[in-house]
Amino acid sequence: MLPRVVSLYSSVSSSTAEDENFSLESLQQRMNNFRKRHSASCRLALAVAGGGGSFLSTLAATPGASSILLEGTLTYDRESYRQYVQRNLDSETFRYCSAESASFSSLAALKQALKLSAAGDPQYGHFPLQNMTHAIGVGCASALRSDTSKRNSRAFVAVSFSDARQVAMKIDLVGGDNDSTKRSRFEEDIFVSHCILTCLEHALDSASAPSTLLELTTGCGDQLCITLPIPARYNPDEVVRQAADKILCGEEEAVSLIPTAEGFKCLTQAFLPPKSLVFPGSFNPPHEGHVKLVQAALTESSCQVAWFELSITNADKPSLASDEIVRRIQHFLTLADMPERWGILLTNAPLFKQKVDILQPQQVVRSFDQKIPLHMVIGTDTLVRLLNPKYYNDCEEQMIAALDDMACHFVVGGRVQQKLGDPDFVSGEDDVRQLPERLRAKFTLLKDFRVDISSTDIRNQMKKARN
């Protein structure tokens, strides 16, 4: 007979009966209720090493599971686990049933959840950027009893969110020879699956949790401990500042910021959905001209997602301070008529070759037989710098070779160039015409685009207003 629940089911659980048992039927009911409650806020990838596979099979069999489940992986063999987490592990000292092991699985699953969310096709009602903010990776590592084992079973669960929060659970199962409490291997697997679901429920409601440490007990004495992140009041400026610090300290080469109702959400992996368009700039400040250029480029290129890319480091100037980055990024939220699907990329890539080297591999594609170029939109002022040998060791041959090597396509909008006398509108045609024919195909000129607004003019106007 299976043991009864005493305090495992939390207030966020779909369970209504305090004495509900750990049966497969109970897991199925809980899973169905979980799907109904979280289908709009959870895009899940799961990796199980050892017990807990019933969580995956039960969720996959739940009607409507495709609204939540992206991928499930069973890494039963140790080499399978090592390949999945992509880490160099000391086979003699690493503990495959540990909190660290569950965390590694969870982070690898999160990476898959982000990548699969980014790859979804909007024509089927899929919204890549929104779904990426809901990406969750769950990892479970366990050592359950075999028929010959006398030690008690144990398991560890980790839930990783796209903004780097993580929730952990430790599970100590009670053994014993009493027929009323002793579980079979199959029953232990179902019990661990219940625990995974409980951990996931607490993780999704961690913002309102009364404590960062929850200790739970079952009727027969199984011990569970859930460690939750410290609840923090949302601070939009702090989110951007922390994202910038990841670049400034060298932790990441690129991070993405997705606009939300509150401000921005920083994602741990800067994956770019298919048909992404990247607009590099200093955005000091961002203005209507930037928005209109992106909208024109989206139409011309048939791209579907726009990214405004700001390099924190600069080829000619000192790195930006985090407060200055916050000021520029938050200004985007004040602009009207922003594209429907857009985000911010912060990078450590002042030169275009560096941008392409970092961002092109992060572009998720749906084809395995070709290298899809990264689409970038620029103004003719940036085009002039892109084609300037000064940034290629003053060597034109190196500039041409660098353009040849860039897996990207440039959409170019004309800009007014300030000169003595009347301003001169530059379309970029003369600059592109001087390139070898094979390189001209890398450029699409927006011949009908013109918006005579510049960040320099806006800064000068703001300076006069202050004085």
Concatenating the DSSP letter of every residue in 103-160 gives HHHHHHHHHHHHHHHHH--GGGT--HHHHHHTEEEEEEEEE---SS--SPPEEEEEEE
C-alpha–C-alpha distance, residues 231 and 47, integer Å: 26
pLDDT in tens, 26-49: 999 999 999 999 998 899 999 999
| Residue indicated by tokens 């100037």 | 317
Topology, domain 236-466: Rossmann fold (3.40.50)
Q: How confident is the model at residue 5 (pLDDT cuts 50, 70, 90)?
A: very low
Question: Torsion angle of alpha carbons 212, 216, 222, 225, nearest 10°?
Answer: 0
pLDDT in tens, 378-425: 988 889 889 989 888 999 999 999 999 999 999 999 776 665 556 666
Cα–Cα distances (Å) from 295 to 185, 277, 329, 398, 416, in that order, read 58, 10, 19, 32, 19
Average pLDDT over residues 117-127: 77
Average pLDDT over residues 302-309: 94
Average pLDDT over residues 106-123: 90
> 84-88, 121-125, 291-295: lowest mean pLDDT where?
121-125
Asked whether the predicted pLDDT for residue 1 surpasses 80, the reply is no
Asked whether the predicted pLDDT for residue 464 surpasses 60, the reply is yes
Q: Residue 362's pLDDT is what?
A: 94
Q: Residue 230's pLDDT is what?
A: 80
Identify the three-state secondary structure at position 391: helix
Q: Residue 330's pLDDT is what?
A: 95
The answer to whether the CB of 226 falls within 8 A of the CB of 202 is yes
Q: Residue 369's pLDDT is what?
A: 58
Q: How confident is the model at residue 209 (pLDDT cuts 50, 70, 90)?
A: low
Identify the three-state secondary structure at position 315: coil
Other beta carbons less than 10 A from residue 24's beta carbon: 17
Average pLDDT over residues 209-224: 83
Task: Point out which residues pair with 216 in neighbouring strands.
Answer: 224
pLDDT in tens, 351-370: 888 999 999 999 998 776 56
Using alpha carbons, select from 250, 251, 231, 243 the residue that is nearest to residue 267. 243
Asked whether the predicted pLDDT for residue 106 surpasses 70, the reply is yes
Q: Are strands 408-413 and 374-379 parallel, antiparallel or unpaired?
A: parallel
> 321-325, 334-338, 441-445, 460-464: lowest mean pLDDT where?
460-464
The answer to whether the CB of 133 falls within 8 A of the CB of 108 is no
Average pLDDT over residues 80-101: 92
Domain boundaries, the chain: 24-227, 236-466
Overall pTM > 0.85: yes
Q: Residue 17's pLDDT is what?
A: 31
Q: Residue 234's pLDDT is what?
A: 82
Asked whether the predicted pLDDT for residue 231 surpasses 90, the reply is no
pLDDT higher at 315 or 447: 447
Identify the three-state secondary structure at position 267: strand
What proportions of the chain, in percent to the nearest 5, are helix, strand and coil?
A: 40, 20, 40
Task: Point out which residues pair with 227 in neighbouring strands.
Answer: 168, 213
Per-position DSSP letters for 175-244, written without gaps between them: --S-TTTPPPHHHHHHHHHHHHHHHHHHHHTGGG-S-SEEEEE-TT--EEEEE-PPP----HHHHHHHHH
Alpha helix segments (H runs only) across 312-374: 322-331, 352-359
Asked whether the predicted pLDDT for residue 332 surpasses 60, the reply is yes
Domain covering 24-227: architecture: Alpha-Beta Complex (3.90)
| Residue indicated by tokens 């699953």 | 109
Strongest mean pLDDT among 118-122, 214-218, 268-272: 268-272
**Counting Cβ atoms within 10 Å, is residue 414 exposed (0-12), middle (13-18) or buried (19+)?**
buried
Asked whether the predicted pLDDT for residue 74 surpasses 80, the reply is yes
